[in-house]
């Protein structure tokens, strides 16, 4: 009987979109900040499983099915930077990763004195990220 009570409470909580512990005006103000970090156009680093790999790029879409982004395997980052710096034709791939492969996604941001990958790309190539990613690299 206790299990049935827990299930019904969870079902109510999961279906209830309002946050009753926060006034409506504060809840509305908090929502855009949370969503903006992983909005389309955000530069992200995605860690994948089976096989284990990391992918860096610009987020195109996040859905229940998976993550779409335009970018490259992190192992290819330095080679890709050299191609761009040398003026060779290089373009990031548009890829989709099913959600069961996604371990984590993090915003590409600097940490203290450690620059972000976006900053490293711009520093090493002398070009803005928008050079490769168009409107999504701004």
Q: What 3-state class would DSSP assign to 75?
A: helix
Q: Give me the CATH number covering residue 119.
A: 2.30.30.100
State the pLDDT at residue 23. 52
For residue 117, what are the domain limits?
37-137
* Percent of residues, the chain, with pLDDT higher than 90: 55
Q: What 3-state class would DSSP assign to 106?
A: strand
Q: Is the pLDDT of residue 1 over 50?
A: no
Q: Would residue 19 count as lying in a domain? A: no
- Per the structure, the count of domains in the chain is 1
Mean pLDDT of the residues in the chain: 79
Strand 93-98 vs strand 102-107: parallel, antiparallel, or unpaired? unpaired
Q: Would residue 28 count as lying in a domain? A: no
């Amino acid at each position: 009987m206790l299990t049935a009570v827990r299930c019904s409470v969870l079902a109510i909580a999961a279906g209830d979109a309002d946050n009753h512990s926060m006034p409506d005006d504060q809840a509305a103000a908090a929502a855009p900040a949370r969503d903006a970090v992983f909005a389309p156009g955000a530069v992200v680093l995605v860690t994948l499983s089976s096989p284990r790999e990391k992918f860096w790029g610009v987020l195109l879409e996040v859905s229940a099915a998976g993550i779409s982004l335009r970018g490259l395997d992190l192992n290819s980052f330095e080679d890709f930077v050299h191609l761009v710096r040398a003026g060779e034709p290089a373009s990031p791939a548009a890829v989709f990763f099913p959600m069961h492969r996604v371990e984590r996604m993090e915003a590409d941001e600097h940490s203290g004195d450690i620059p972000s990958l976006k900053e490293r790309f711009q520093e090493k190539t002398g070009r803005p990220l928008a050079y490769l990613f168009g409107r999504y690299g701004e």
